[in-house]
Amino acid sequence: MPSPTSLALFAIATLALLLVPGPAVIYIVTRSVAQGRTAGLVSVLGVHTGSLVHIAAAALGVSALLAASATAFALVKYLGAAYLVYLGVRKLMTRQEAEPAEISRASSARLFGEGFVVNVLNPKTAIFFLAFLPQFTDPSRGPLAPQIVLLGLIWVILGMASDGSYALLSSALAGWMRSSARVRRRLDVGSGVVYLGLGAVAALTTEGAKKL
């Protein structure tokens, strides 16, 4: 297992990364504003059930395989970066109408399923498990798969806490956020800038797994 120091550093770095809004957070906030607290929390559960897919893939060696190939790693990295930049540009170019468009209400099963898909296909999460998490494993302390699972579960616990906070806060402020075009525009601009920043970070991510 990783050392206590490595676990503590991983938890701090993970929480800092999770607090930066990505596609999953945007989905959670959108559903929380549209349908309330329960919908937001169900979305959180779906999102982090999706995280388990990334954990399983990393533990089974998919992440290690991709990170070991410079071509495959670069392809995943730049596709993820390009997608984030695309989302950022789209957000910055969005024009808010005086009245917000109605978001159709969804059942709990649909909210859970959409959250699951959002995070399975989330470039931010994929890049985290490809390039960031492996740096906190230590081959000298035992097999890597159990270490990856442990670190992944820490990610899920911290993710549910941070994303749950987003759901609770956005549902509490839903009326204010829906009523103001200026607020919605600022949220779009803020999200766009964040996406562009994430795209830049993703493009500059180094092949951390090769350090093992």
Q: How far apart are CA 22 and CA 81, in angstroms?
A: 12
Task: Identify the domain containing residue 142 by its residue range.
Answer: 4-211
Single pTM value for the model: 0.68
Length of the chain: 212
User: Which tokens belong to 163?
Assistant: 């994303």
Res 129: pLDDT: 82
Per-residue pLDDT of the chain in tens (212 residues, 90 and over written 9): 777 888 888 888 888 778 877 778 888 888 888 788 899 999 999 999 999 998 998 888 755 665 566 676 667 667 766 776 776 787 677 665 544 445 557 788 888 988 898 888 777 787 778 767 777 877 777 787 888 899 999 999 999 999 999 999 988 887 666 656 666 666 667 666 766 776 676 666 554 434 43
Domain count for the chain, please give it: 1
Gap between the Cα atoms of 15 and 126, Å rounded: 16
The continuous run of DSSP H or E covering 7 comes out as helix 4-18
